[in-house]
Chains A and B, each alone.
Chain A
Amino acid sequence: MPEIRVTPLGAGQDVGRSCILVSIAGKNVMLDCGMHMGFNDDRRFPDFSYITQNGRLTDFLDCVIISHFHLDHCGALPYFSEMVGYDGPIYMTHPTQAICPILLEDYRKIAVDKKGEANFFTSQMIKDCMKKVVAVHLHQTVQVDDELEIKAYYAGHVLGAAMFQIKVGSESVVYTGDYNMTPDRHLGAAWIDKCRPNLLITESTYATTIRDSKRCRERDFLKKVHETVERGGKVLIPVFALGRAQELCILLETFWERMNLKVPIYFSTGLTEKANHYYKLFITWTNQKIRKTFVQRNMFEFKHIKAFDRAFADNPGPMVVFATPGMLHAGQSLQIFRKWAGNEKNMVIMPGYCVQGTVGHKILSGQRKLEMEGRQVLEVKMQVEYMSFSAHADAKGIMQLVGQAEPESVLLVHGEAKKMEFLRQKIEQEFRVSCYMPANGETVTLPTSPSIPVGISLGLLKQEMAQGLLPEAKKPRLLHGTLIMKDSSFRLVSSEQALKELGLAEHQLRFTCRVHLQDTRKEQEMALRVYSHLKSTLKDHCVQHLPDGSVTVESILIQAAAHSEDPGIKVLLVSWTYQDEELGSFLTTLLKKGLPQTPS
């Protein structure tokens, strides 16, 4: 029984590290290879031992697909390819291919620097891993091998994020990765065609939430920043090099322009220049507005935002600084935070998720006295704000996507179990399809009934056309031919062509029937009578009397013989081929009725 099997190694009823194994028509694909930022040991990576049990990884897996550059979707990739030993192809979009190594490198540096981890992937490993990447364009059908093909669709979320359709024959699965169904300041909304996959694997981060308008959040953000700088305070926005940083930069840049503000805005790292460079490079991946205005003015060439120098942090007066990393756990952002934390006029705005243990996590949970290295206690007097700008589809968006793709069934990942359960019921009710939500390690098996495409030879079609009947689109018609299975494909051809292609000799199959007639005449005379009778009856057919005494009608052969025991009975041996079966049966019936009496 053909089936599709899905096993999440990560992202099954959780939002940690996405890694989903899909087995479709004998092909095995890994969807995302993420890392859990909350752990510092091997638990940060998916447990790959369940795949390595099946022999060599490269033999077992046909490909790995990465949906976007966030570390919870690609962070384990160098570990998987260079340390666990996967040596096959990795697919991702061009922007993801360009940006992914920056974030991996960024994280590696922090892991080595901050945590002093020695057993972590190296720069060289990241590069070697990236060399295994095959970049794909949107809507381009890529053949992984002769049977497996993949196709990317726009997912919004972050630059280069894509949903992937995986197809083997007529069976297909769509994996959404993270997506956003509403356009934001720099990216468009996710879109997929009505591809009717057997299964849609969708993220469900906001499975139960209908998010308020992003405009409100943006207004709120601008208001807070503005108020702080107006009263002479400094604003720190810890960000990761790519993604939200660019969105917020556009937001502030536009606001500064409109309000004609002079307060400096800085970006603390060289990484972001590169990030902005990528946004420029992949302008086609951004939203329509940015693309349209690009000719007049490049949105990513910021007039007000300048590169930060470490010395600027001590400058008096207000300023806004974007600094990495985003969780305030090391480097520049933490250094600036330490300097500014003691002043209540200042503000830190956390625009994203922070894992336990980081300073970001602590201040977001309301802790105001932080023990730093060397047992110093840092008192946080500055204001702390949390603003979520994460670009995930909300419940409405998820339903919209399911409606767009029209899958036969749905599988939820990347969300919390309770919320998923709610959404699962909603999807099942509204779309009348099965909806699954496996936990990590649980396998969902979906039986499929694949329709197998069959090619028809031109010769056979021409033969059919020669019979004079024009094909009608809505009227099925019976067509005879020989089905050939060759090189994993099916073709219907004429039997002659089949014999020729397969190098086979034709076997003749003849049906024989004996007709007993009461007649005392000799065999030759009998045959002559049969000939005369048939000649007069079958006017449209070619009836022949052969020199050896037998009679033929097309391919049908009739011979007269004497009965071995009763000389008063003659036996007519009638034999015909399969093709002339109709005529053969007719003749037999005719002859059984006897021959007409000849005038004596």
Chain B
Amino acid sequence: MDPECSRLLPALCAVLADPSQAVADDTCLEKLLDWFKTVTEAGSSLLLLQENPCLVDLLSHVLDLKPQDVSPRVLSFSLCLAGTFAAQEDCFEYLQQGQLLLGLFGEAGPLSWAAWSVPTVRSGWIRGLRSLAQHPSGLHFLGNSGAVDALFSLQGDSSLFVASAASQLLVHVLALSMQGKAAGSPSSQGNAWPACAQKIVDHVEACLCSTAAPQVTQALNVLTTTFGRCHSPWTEVLWGQLSPLVAHLLESDPIPAAHSLVDLLLSVARSPVFASADCGLWETMARMLSCLSPTQAGSLALGILKLQHCPQALRSQAFRVLLQPLVCILRATTQAPGPPGLLDETSAGSSMMVDTLLSSKSACVGLLCQTLAHLEELQPLPQRPSPWPQTLLVEAAVIILQLCDGSAVPSSSEGGRLCGALAGCSRVQRAALDFLGTLSQGISSRELMPQVFAVLLETLESPASSPMVLKKAFQATLRWLLDLPSPSSCLDLGPHAPLFLRELFPVLQKRLCSPCWEVRDSALEFLTHLTACWGGEADFREALLASEVPKLTWQLLRDPESYVRASAVTAMGQLSSQGLEAVSESPGHPEVQQGLIGELLHILSMDSEGFPRRAVVRVFTEWLRDSHADVARDTEWFVATVLQMVSQDLDWEVRAQGLELVRVFLVQTLGQPNPHCPYAVTLPKVTPPGPLPEVLRTLCQLQIIDFAFRALFDCDRPVAQKACDLLLFLREKTAPCSGLQEPGNSSDVTSVEATLHRWQAGEQSQPLGNLEPEELLAALRSLDLEGFQGRLAESSDHVEKSPQSLLQDMLATVAVLEENVADCY
């Protein structure tokens, strides 16, 4: 431990032990515990206690206080702290000698105090025991101190946090007591379980037989965690012993704690211990699938289908359960039946499904959303059922969307009722669009495309579609368009895409004019992605240029909403990269005269918000990288102009992005950074456009050097870091030039250094002036850039986070706590 911390610790312990002193907030105590945990993990706890007796004094003092005087926060902290120390067996013995642990965790301790009613204390008690239960002595202590019984009752605690922690601890204790017993695992006849484990197993058994649902839930939760965490052979014996009781639960109607039961069965099925064994699990699962309500059965079915190994019959049953709601929807509408075996099955389950779907609007919405989400999750998995009824699923998603937007024509009374329940339901629309988007993957047939595109267009066009629905519709459309076969030629797009595009652009146009910024933004994001992928396609270019979309996008550069302006900048950047901005040809637009570059520079210098300015610099960086025609015309002027604006920017992310632009420029001018790996393939070197001194002179004239040096002392760390990397790169690239004549007048370098020092001290008003290449090189050499890099790499709040700072703050706060009453943001 840091000597300064050792010095501060006694005072802090004294404060904590004194009930009349108000202690800083919970976060400080939590951070203090974090620190002790780090210290004890790195070294001997016993030594720590011996060197800092104030810690043991604190624990004893807390026990000596009158129970009513104890602050629950300090008590909870002390319990956690004692547990942290006792995690090491020698330290445990040391604390036990003074009966401290029994005092803190035994029946006569806080368990029986009034403070026990405070959940933080109960939580601290459990956390303390959890830390302590690491070794046989700790386990023995738990068994003998009555703690396990207390944990049983804490499973039903009024606090979720406490109840859950108690349950977790029981599992930990069970696992700990079984540790090393793997070879001689207990027989199913019992008696061979260690005492502590036996106690827990008995308790779980009793709970499983209980008629009270909370008790059953508690037992199931303990078992779920056990099978999830422990994969030793004894778990198989445990399941063998308890599975009849679990199976028995299925005989009740309704099934108690169905949700927890599903979790348990899946947890057992996932355990590698049961990979080859059957142990009646599949049968139980099959039974459960058939008797659960459709909503509950859905999650079990999904879990089964995600299993790596599982009997085919059960998988088929699970898949039928999962598909049933969609099958009902298709039946109730005019759709042709899907593959045999999925639709022609009439079972008790399916009539229950219809009942659920039609019972109420919320039941229908809930079940459909859940089903769609489950299938969406399953779609990309390798273990999804095969054959995968892609066509049926696409049809179902399309029909659901039609039911939502009111365009479906129901063929039966059920269909009519479904129409009523789903019409205008944006929740189902969102889920269906997400699902439909995923279904674009692996679509083999083009047959369904007209239907899909039609429903997407309908949704995009509908005035009733909410902004979120539109966003998802754009995303789904994008996925379907991008998942079309590679557009190497127009013919490859097939007949649908060009047709669709012609209809899509008018809709996009309308959405770019939406009064909701969310919609305008989603439309712009869609346009950007689509252009990036399809910008070279003749059909796409033709449809885009025939529309008003480029012009509207340009207009959105002046949108009142900054998010939209930023997206418009990105979209225009992309359009321009592909030569699609088009507006420049139409006369009568004053803004067009100055060109897009002028407009973007205007945004960079004038926009009051960071997003659009950041977007502009990103676009410029891309343009520079791709040698965009407007940039290539006069790259130096371009870089100098951008940097002049960026260097004044208040947003550090704009400045950082500006440095990225500089980096691209330097790489283009000086070549790639040298590979540091000796085995790396050396790329052919870019030859600088002229002799190095000339290049350096240009860099200085363009104010690139001034910008980079200023950025090195930026008050925002990422900017300084980036500048440092940049200067290191520059130094490396100019190293061959080190033979360059030293500057004749050394006072020039001194003045540069002096300016840099002033900048470092925060006085940045003085300019660096026009540097000569020699001065630049000298300045680069004189700066300890590696040292800078090291300091910057260390998060700048490491001082704040240090334990010393924490101890100082906690001590200092005590005096003023009463003065500054709680004030909240």
Contacts and interface: CB of A to CB of B under 8 A. Distances in A.
Nearest to A102: B609
Contacts of A54: 259
B27 A38 contact: yes
A205 B822 contact: yes
A71 B825 contact: yes
B299 interface: yes
Interface stretch (B284-292, B727-735, B804-812): B804-812
Question: Which DSSP category, helix, strand, loop or mixed, fits chain B's interface?
Answer: helix
Nearest to A123: B611
Interface stretch (A111-119, A191-199, A256-264, A567-575): A111-119
Q: Is the interface of A mostly helix, strand, loop or mixed?
A: loop
Contacts of B370: 55-56, 59
B816 interface: yes
A314 B765 CA distance: 9
Contacts of B467: 131
B434 to A, nearest CB: 8
Interface string A1-21: 000000100000011100000
A178 interface: yes
A59 B825 contact: no
Interface string A42-59: 010001001000111011
Contacts of B420: 487
Contact of A366 (B28, B806, B816, B821): B816
A397 to B, nearest CB: 15
Contact of B800 (A147, A329, A331, A417): A329
B164 interface: yes
A372 interface: yes
B563 A127 contact: yes
Nearest to B370: A59
B810 to A, nearest CB: 8
Interface stretch (A283-291, A434-442, A461-469, A522-530): A434-442
A311 B799 contact: no
Interface stretch (A332-340, A405-413, A494-502): A332-340
B717 interface: yes
Contacts of A59: 366, 369-370, 373
A56 B373 contact: yes
B158 A442 contact: yes
A376 B517 CA distance: 48
Contacts of A109: 652-653
Nearest to A88: B427
B495 to A, nearest CB: 34
B contact residues, range: 35 or more
A441 B161 contact: yes
Contact of A131 (B25, B471, B608, B716): B471
Interface stretch (B145-153, B238-246, B790-798): B790-798
A366 B825 CA distance: 20
Contacts of A274: 608-609
Contacts of A146: 361-362
A131 B521 contact: yes
Contacts of A273: 608
Interface stretch (A230-238, A351-359, A589-597): A351-359
B823 interface: yes
Contacts of A426: none
Contacts of B339: none
B808 A390 contact: no
B533 interface: no
Contacts of A599: none
B114 interface: no
A578 B736 CA distance: 113
Nearest to A21: B160
B41 interface: no
Interface string B639-661: 00000000000111100000000
Contacts of A88: 427
A121 to B, nearest CB: 15
A209 B369 CA distance: 48
B158 A366 contact: no
Given A146-B362, A390-B824, A442-B160, A116 B809 contact: no
Interface string B367-406: 0011001000000000000000000000000000000000
Contact of A487 (B361, B652, B791, B823): B361
B543 to A, nearest CB: 27
A50 B168 CA distance: 14
Interface string B513-535: 00000100110000000000000
A485 B277 CA distance: 51
Nearest to A146: B361
A205 B822 CA distance: 7
Given A59-B366, A361-B809, A113 B765 contact: no
A128 to B, nearest CB: 8
B809 A362 contact: yes
A356 B806 contact: yes
B716 A7 contact: no
Most chain-A Cβ atoms within 10 A of its Cβ — which of B28, B717, B816? Answer: B717
A442 B715 contact: no
B478 interface: no
Contacts of A71: 825
A380 B315 CA distance: 71
Contacts of A374: 791
Contacts of B797: 114-115, 329-330, 357
B815 interface: yes
Contact of A47 (B27, B161, B653): B161
Nearest to B648: A309
Interface in B430-453: 430
B820 A364 contact: yes
A114 B717 contact: yes
Nearest to B613: A270
Contacts of B717: 113-114, 116
A150 B330 CA distance: 35
A425 interface: no
A215 interface: no
Contacts of A373: 791, 796, 798-799
B824 A269 contact: no
A365 B430 contact: no
Contacts of A440: 119, 159, 161
16 contacts: A38-B28, A50-B160, A70-B824, A71-B825, A116-B718, A206-B821, A314-B762, A330-B716, A330-B797, A364-B816, A372-B799, A417-B72, A417-B118, A440-B159, A442-B159, A487-B420
Interface of A: 7, 14-16, 26, 36-40, 43, 47, 50, 54-56, 58-59, 70-72, 87-89, 101, 105, 109, 112-116, 123, 127, 130-132, 145-147, 178, 205-206, 209, 240, 243, 269-270, 273-274, 310-311, 313-314, 329-332, 334-335, 338-339, 352-353, 355-359, 361-362, 364-367, 371-374, 386, 388, 390, 392, 414, 416-417, 439-443, 487-488
What 10 A-B pairs come out closest when comparing CB atoms? A38-B27, A441-B161, A365-B812, A357-B800, A441-B159, A441-B160, A439-B119, A311-B765, A116-B795, A131-B518
Given A130-B518, A314-B762, A335-B715, 18 more contacts: A15-B822, A59-B373, A71-B825, A116-B718, A127-B563, A131-B518, A145-B362, A353-B824, A353-B825, A356-B25, A356-B806, A362-B812, A365-B813, A386-B820, A417-B72, A440-B161, A487-B420, A488-B361
